[in-house]
Structure 1
Amino acid sequence: MLDTLKNYLRETVRPHEQSALFVAAAYFFVLLAAYYIIRPVREQFSAAVGSTQLWVFYLAVFVTTLVLTPVFGALTSRLRRGVFIPAVYAFFLLCAIGFIPLFNLQQQIGAKVLGTIFFVWVSVFNLLVVALFWSFMSDIFDRVQARRLFPLIGIGGALGAIAGPAMTKALVFVVGVQGLLVVSALLLGLCIGCVYWLLGWARRHPVAGEPDRDQRVIGGSVIAGAIETMRSPFLRRVALLMLLGDCVGTFVYAFLSDYNGAMFATQEARIGFSSSLDLATNVLQILFQLFLTREILTRLGPTAALVLDGVVKAVMLLGFALLGGGWIIAVAIVTRASAYGIFKPAADSLYTEVDAETRYKAKNFIDTAVWRFGDLAVTSGINLLRGLSVATSGLALITVAAGIASAWVGSRMRPPAAPTANG
């Protein structure tokens, strides 16, 4: 088994890429561990309020994302990538520390108010920081490297997503939420160190035709990401693909929140359930990335992987429409593992063939503002359809259609033939 793995890595990774692959995977490991340490705390808030109130959380997240998008655009317009990427991580590190006194004052602030603030922060943290990671990876590696290495880098993130909830379960009764925030902040500090190391490696091994990437300012308007998304057929398809995937993901999240709240009465039990679900999901994600995604990307390209993800989602949701109840657990595990183990590496590999402004501005606009708009639209739509007496099975069948549509749009995904903006 060990010899097989060594041969697999020897065939996949070139000698000069080995150290960069290790650091990139470690970077993704500590990044997702930092996120998954605090994610179960957010999930228990969702379970407590139920799916009918999720739209309020998502409205707050969407508004916050819209406010932050031009700020992010201004940052990328004025700062070298070697400066603004660490600056974004430092910002979230300081926010994590800043929540510590707020949790100490939870009784005075009120659990509902603090829960809403924390939900918004964790959601924005997840979207913006992870989107920035993959933009950075698309900048460090070229198209051929991305197809070989992204699935392996993703394994580092999947292991971090296992280590994070495991640490939460082990530490929450020892150090409390405040201690978990400290651990998360320390891991974000390690992310900054990985960024600087990879920037140095990129200078020694530049992408052909684009030397000194970290020294260049991307430039452009602070709303360039939104403008470019509306203007580019490629980016419009990416945004549509994101919305269709989000339709599936948010539907599953909503019904899983209801299941969690109905089955588990205490905060600790709900956090434990969420942690266990994350663990199972990310084990399956690793299996996808190690034995399936890389083969598809290298042999068939990202289009085939995007189609497969849509088919997997449609099949699992059809099972939920027919079986209902506890089947939502299996649906959540498989569709989430597919989303992050198949869809994400494939979709992100497309950005290696576009310019820097698209990688950093349009991609992050799609991965944040568009995604959170989808969350709000889907949760509001679920409430509306429930008000019209549409049963759970009917809602599931609608989401099956979204999975099928995602496969169809994925089959038509091609990167633009030439850069869409100056980079």
Structure 2
Amino acid sequence: MTQTGWLHKLSRAQARELPAALWSFVFFFALLAAYYVLRPLRDEMGIQLGPDALHELFSAVFLTMLAIVPVFGWLTRRFERRHLLPWLYAFFIINLLGFYEVLMLSGTQSPWVARAFFVWVSVFNLFAVSIFWSFMADLFTTEQARRLVGFIAAGGTTGALTGPSLAWLLARPIGAKGLVLVSAGLLTLCIVSSLALRRWASSNPRADACQQEPASPAFSGNLWSGLLDVVRSPYLLGICLFLFCYSLLSTFLYFQQTELVPQHISNSGERTQLLASVDLLVNVVTLLVQVLAFGKLIERLGTRALLITMPVISVMGYNALAMSPVLSVLVTLGVLRRAGEYAISKPARETLFNALPVEQQYRAKNVIDTLVHRTGDTSSAWIFNGLRSLGMSTSQISWLAVPISLVWLVTAWKLGGAAERQAPPNAPK
């Protein structure tokens, strides 16, 4: 089989679609690699600032998102995404070059630079990935997306493995300033990819471009109607509680990381390397579980079993951390929780929306994934800060996390049972 034949088989792309599939793969690879180069640096700056400042940073991320959403909405209404995209990524690159110049002058020790960088990277990740998938939806029909999305997502997975590898290799040789430039270079590849895809789209207009019908009224609900759906439904409120418990426990662990890591590693470059190696391990474990195990697990064990997996791990993990609040235990629990969330808990949680009427699925999911999730992150940061102000130690907060994990476990059990009772007869139980 020729090289082109292998590419067609691997990507499931037809002849005219292959250039778009390959550029989309490169685009998503470069985007996630750019983020994961920056993520360990962001977390290192969070460690430098300490847990006392993190609750304010989480609030700043939330407020910045609220401010940017209407601006982004206005831009997408005024300009086509395919024309807007290169300019947005160019804006991100200019931001990174600005951070590079500031880091040259002040280094990574400036608290204000660290604060700005932490917020910028957190917001950049949320919007850059969202913009990418919106662009993909503009390029491809539903039928094309079903064939190509796996191959394109594999580009992101490859980038998510490459980014922390680069950060681990380069953190000490070139430092924070160098990593910022590496990320900017990867985002430049995003612009090249978007321009290539724009040219392809001009030569290959969507087959349904002239046949698209206005959105059904069922999908036209706004944020307010989705919020009303959530408030009126015990099932959706249960999903909100599930997500809040996850956010609360994740925030506890993140804040504990900012306390324990500097106690064991004093050098900033070494801390960045550690954080990069953790990101790499999380992504490797996630990929292995997704490829080798998730489909079989949900088919054999059902949604309920997968939903309770992470709460059970949290109960055991926080018990271990409470009894032995050391870095090795924290890193092990962090890897298991993050990999388990990406590979098991989140995919299983997504299936909970299948039990809803079609008109509620999109409205409620939009509210829960944005407003509820980010509100949970922000409020969790303030809760942790309040506990620390009361003088609670890492061990005591870990003991407090155990009953929260049990509440999460009971919620997951009930949600899984409710979803399985409402599932179609041929759906996974």
Please classify the TM superposition score into its range, dividing by the shorter chain length: 0.7 to 0.9
Residues 314, 400 of structure 1: 8 Å contact kept? yes
My pick for the range that moved more, 337-346 or 278-287, is 337-346
2:399 corresponds to: 394
Residues 237, 413 of structure 1: 8 Å contact kept? no
Give the SS at the match of 2:293.
Answer: helix
Please list the CA deviations of residues 172-223 of structure 1 after superposition, one character each: whole Å capped at 9, or x if unmatched. Answer: 444443332222122123234445666757996969xxx33999999x9xxx
1:39 corresponds to: 39
Give the SS at the match of 2:266.
Answer: coil
TM-aligned CA deviation for residue 84 of structure 1 = 4.2
TM-aligned CA deviation for residue 310 of structure 1 = 5.0
Taking a change above 3 Å as real, the CA distance of residues 173 and 331 of structure 1, as seen in their structure-2 partners, is closer
My pick for the range that moved more, 395-404 or 252-261, is 395-404
How far apart, in 2, do the equivalents of 1:203 and 1:242 lie?
43
Residues 80, 216 of structure 1: 8 Å contact kept? no
TM-score by length of 2: 0.73
2:166 corresponds to: 167
Give the SS at the match of 1:392.
Answer: helix
TM-aligned CA deviation for residue 286 of structure 1 = 1.3
1:3 corresponds to: none
Q: Does 1:285 align with 2:286?
A: yes
1:342 corresponds to: 344
Taking a change above 3 Å as real, the CA distance of residues 323 and 177 of structure 1, as seen in their structure-2 partners, is closer
Residues 311, 407 of structure 1: 8 Å contact kept? no
Q: Does 1:76 align with 2:76?
A: yes
1:253 corresponds to: 254
Q: Does 1:157 align with 2:156?
A: yes
1:227 corresponds to: 224
My pick for the range that moved more, 366-375 or 36-45, is 366-375
How far apart, in 2, do the equivalents of 1:267 and 1:335 lie?
25
State how 1:84-233 maps to structure 2 within 5 Å.
84-106=84-106, 111-134=110-133, 140=140, 142=142, 153-195=152-194, 200=200, 211-212=208-209, 226-233=223-230
How far apart, in 1, do the equivalents of 2:374 and 2:45 lie?
18
Please list the CA deviations of residues 292-340 of structure 1 after superposition, one character each: whole Å capped at 9, or x if unmatched. Answer: 2344578899887555555555554454345543311111001111222
Aligned residues: 400
In terms of Rg, which structure is larger? Answer: 2
Please list the CA deviations of residues 139-159 of structure 1 after superposition, one character each: whole Å capped at 9, or x if unmatched. Answer: 75759966x876765544333
TM-score by length of 1: 0.74
State how 1:232-243 maps to structure 2 within 5 Å.
232-233=229-230, 241-243=242-244
Residues 315, 406 of structure 2: 8 Å contact kept? yes
How far apart, in 2, do the equivalents of 1:343 and 1:304 lie?
10
How far apart, in 1, do the equivalents of 2:406 and 2:151 lie?
31
Taking a change above 3 Å as real, the CA distance of residues 321 and 178 of structure 1, as seen in their structure-2 partners, is closer
Residues 62, 369 of structure 1: 8 Å contact kept? no
TM-aligned CA deviation for residue 404 of structure 1 = 1.9
Taking a change above 3 Å as real, the CA distance of residues 91 and 293 of structure 1, as seen in their structure-2 partners, is farther
Unaligned runs of 5+ in 2: 1-5, 421-429
Residues 45, 114 of structure 2: 8 Å contact kept? yes
Aligned residue among 381, 390, 412 for 1:407: 412
TM-aligned CA deviation for residue 395 of structure 1 = 2.6
Residues 42, 122 of structure 1: 8 Å contact kept? yes
How far apart, in 2, do the equivalents of 1:384 and 1:217 lie?
49
Please list the CA deviations of residues 27-53 of structure 1 after superposition, one character each: whole Å capped at 9, or x if unmatched. Answer: 332212101112222111222233233
TM-aligned CA deviation for residue 64 of structure 1 = 1.5
How far apart, in 1, do the equivalents of 2:196 and 2:308 lie?
35
Taking a change above 3 Å as real, the CA distance of residues 363 and 158 of structure 1, as seen in their structure-2 partners, is same
Return the letter of the residue paired with 1:118.
Answer: F
TM-aligned CA deviation for residue 73 of structure 1 = 2.6
TM-aligned CA deviation for residue 115 of structure 1 = 0.7
Give the SS at the match of 1:105.
Answer: helix
How far apart, in 1, do the equivalents of 2:202 and 2:415 lie?
31
Return the letter of the residue paired with 1:330.
Answer: T
How far apart, in 1, do the equivalents of 2:157 and 2:308 lie?
22
Taking a change above 3 Å as real, the CA distance of residues 344 and 324 of structure 1, as seen in their structure-2 partners, is same
Give the SS at the match of 2:339.
Answer: helix
Give the SS at the match of 1:337.
Answer: helix
1:327 corresponds to: 329
Taking a change above 3 Å as real, the CA distance of residues 28 and 413 of structure 1, as seen in their structure-2 partners, is farther
Taking a change above 3 Å as real, the CA distance of residues 193 and 79 of structure 1, as seen in their structure-2 partners, is same
* Aligned residues with identical type, % of pairs: 31
Q: Does 1:64 align with 2:64?
A: yes
Taking a change above 3 Å as real, the CA distance of residues 121 and 395 of structure 1, as seen in their structure-2 partners, is same
TM-aligned CA deviation for residue 260 of structure 1 = 0.8
Return the letter of the residue paired with 1:187.
Answer: L
Unaligned runs of 5+ in 1: 1-6, 415-423
1:421 corresponds to: none
Residues 230, 236 of structure 1: 8 Å contact kept? no
Taking a change above 3 Å as real, the CA distance of residues 366 and 203 of structure 1, as seen in their structure-2 partners, is farther
Give the SS at the match of 2:256.
Answer: helix
TM-aligned CA deviation for residue 160 of structure 1 = 1.9
TM-aligned CA deviation for residue 272 of structure 1 = 1.7
2:424 corresponds to: none
Taking a change above 3 Å as real, the CA distance of residues 351 and 397 of structure 1, as seen in their structure-2 partners, is closer
How far apart, in 1, do the equivalents of 2:36 and 2:47 lie?
17
Residues 131, 364 of structure 1: 8 Å contact kept? no
1:418 corresponds to: none
Q: What CA RMSD, in Å, does the superposition of the two structures yield over aligned residues?
A: 4.7
1:420 corresponds to: none
TM-aligned CA deviation for residue 136 of structure 1 = 5.2
